[in-house]
Structure 1
Amino acid sequence: MTREAAPERSTEGMVDYDANSRAQKQNALHNSDVIFDLANRAASRSLPMNITDYGCGPGHSAIETVRPALKAWNALPNANLSVCHADQPGNDWNALMGLVFGDDGYANTANAPQVRTSVGSFYERMMPDNSVTIATCFFASHWLSQSVQLHSPETIWFADLTGEARQKMWQLAKRDWVKFLHLRAQELQPGGYLFVSALGAVPEEGEINGIAAAGRGNYRAQQAVVASMVEDGQLDREVADNFVFGLWFLTENEARQAIEQNAELSKLYEIDTIEAEYVDDGGDLFLDCLSDPLEYGRRYAGYTRAYAGTTLRRNLFEPSAGHERTAEQLETEFFKRLEALYAEKTSRYACEQWHLKAILKRI
């Protein structure tokens, strides 16, 4: 079963998001040449040029995502340029604007663009018709439009779901992907590009459901901590048995077929690129800390808190809280145990990264 709720943003309430968003910043920098190329392809002297970053977050990754497009367009004389950062109300907007207008921000450069924000869900309209030249969405579109409750006592994430629970989750994910693409098609200018870079999954024999999904070690580490806290009576067993993260990491075929098999979408977009690629970080996001197990544990706990803290708090800790333990105490205990687990087991729960890259041209 599912319950409607406001889409969750992992950055809400986080004061240390930027310090723990290594993967997000790395991804933006990794794709800078692609964004620069797309901006050049879509450049026009007759239309206002805008780059909108959907699910921008509050960190440096939001700055690095838009910077390459501005670099490409600043070479054009008398260009009408604007940037829009789009995200949920709970995003730390003050932190983001501090970076935008800070010493290293793009708003302090020559030919600075207009800076705008759009506050809401990218499962709704966020920009006017035909107003966006380049639309980016990095590490955000894999979050579903609603929180999810499914009976899944063996796992807390989509990739290890089986049977009816997995089918229900996939139907939600497919519906959201199609809806997201329809909405962006209305907002894009003809000839504009949508560039989605999300966590992805690839076929792998021997894995549950025959796929290896990004971050599998990290989610299984969280599952181990949840199970230990249930066993110790700190988390409500029924709550934990029905908790699953509201996300889905698409495979290349899932992302492509949703477009090609949809009569309307196939007329709205020309597929430039859809692929799932392995990010060569040695198979471990924090490989550089492996020689120091305590630091390794701290890094993984901080990283997990940055993207998952809100979801865990709302859907696991708060419903399990009672007169003996508050939600804050449960949260503290969870991340204490997660940090200790990584310090003890280290690379057994390493976070591998596969990214889904989808570049679509608006027809």
Structure 2
Amino acid sequence: MKCSETKPTLKDVTELAGCSLAAASTILNGRNNNNVRYSEELADRVRESARKLGYRTRRRVQQLEPRRGVGNLPTHLPVGLIIHPYRNGFDSMESIFVQQLSRQLERFDMTQQMIYANDQFHVSRLRERMRRHGLAAAVTFAMGPEDDSLVSIQEAGLPVVIFNPYQVPRHNGVLPDDANGVKQACKLLTLIGAKRVLYVTARTNHYSGKLRRDVLLDQLHAMDIALAGEFDHTNFSKQPLARLLKRSKVDTIVCYNNSMAMKALACLSDMGIAVPDEINILSLAGLPAQKDHDHITQMILPFDQMGRVAADLCIDMIKHQQANFENVLVPEYLHLGSTCKRV
């Protein structure tokens, strides 16, 4: 056998030991993708041949793990989807979110389990489960201002994503960027030449109620667009709407969400006013599944994208043993369709 002049190779070792390259590589370098076991006698012979030739084994370099890999995830533990007292069931908004959240988690072999925290019994069971480390992470829905389960989650060191809370959290929130969404809507008002706007809101203790109204009023004032009046769901009906439209010559109705927009559309239909030929309707909060509505121009709330973002954040926090992240604002987008007409 003739050894290499510079340094011995693995082939030199196999010739001296009388074995295959695969066997020598597995024994010396520790790589065995097929889980094949070799006898101790062969292993000793290969190591002795390598020692005689002065063969140096390869130094294994640990490969970098992908940022969102699944190698170190506790896939035997589910991600808890925690439903709070303010929401006893899912509406279409949360269904869209959960669908995309589940799809993204399934890509990493993570399971989900819906957990209700709508009374003290269920809250105590949730706390006990967290104390026993029975969850990999948690996603909370519609957490109200008086809900104290978040404190228990944080004390347990459990990764948590807060979706659709009634108050803006200090951290760990995945929220639609309502402020920029309203600003986009107001830019559209200037493009279509709107002069007099009616705002139809909804009385809610959700933070978005005040946020959307405040940003809307600031933008209308800056753009010199008159606010002809405001309605909410308690006083919004055909008769007062007809009087205001006749008196103030409103050209655009801006609504807090699609629910208010549908009420406005129904009233206008009863009054024989065509949309958008005679008046425009703009919703500040539409859903991806409803964006093809023919008569309402909408700012789409990206709950589908928010579900994917929430799943990615869960995976990252679990993988890197992280409990907190800064609030994430997911951009909204404007859907025009054929529903908007220049005034």
TM, length-normalised to structure 2: 0.33
Higher Cα radius of gyration: 2
TM, length-normalised to structure 1: 0.31
